[in-house]
Amino acid sequence: MKLTSPFARVQACIDQTNITKSLACLPIFLAGCRQLLVLAGPTYPTRLWCAMEIFIFIRMGGNHEDMVVKLLDGDSNLINKLQKFDAREARCYEPTDQHILWAVIESSFGDLIPFNKLVRDIFAASAASGPSA
pLDDT attached to residue 1: 44
In-domain check, residue 71: yes
Per-residue pLDDT band for 25 (boundaries 50, 70, 90) equals confident
| pLDDT for residue 115 is more than 70 | yes
Please, are residues 67 and 57 in contact by the beta-carbon 8 Å criterion?
yes
In-domain check, residue 113: yes
Per-residue pLDDT band for 5 (boundaries 50, 70, 90) equals very low
**Could you list the residue range(s) of the whole structural domain that residue 75 is in?**
34-128
| pLDDT for residue 7 is more than 70 | no
In angstroms, the CA 96 to CA 94 distance is 5
In-domain check, residue 11: no
Residue 40, helix vs strand vs coil: strand
Per-residue pLDDT band for 130 (boundaries 50, 70, 90) equals low
Phi then psi for 83, rounded to 5 degrees? Answer: -75, -10
In-domain check, residue 81: yes
Predicted model pTM: 0.77
Q: How many CB atoms are closer than 10 A to CB 105? A: 21
CA angle 62-66-71, nearest 5°?
Answer: 120
Phi-psi region of 75 (alpha: psi -120 to 50; beta: other; left: phi over 0): beta
In-domain check, residue 45: yes
Domain count, the chain: 1
The per-residue pLDDT for range 58-79, each reduced to its tens digit, is 988 888 888 988 888 766 688 8
The per-residue pLDDT for range 43-57, each reduced to its tens digit, is 999 999 899 999 999
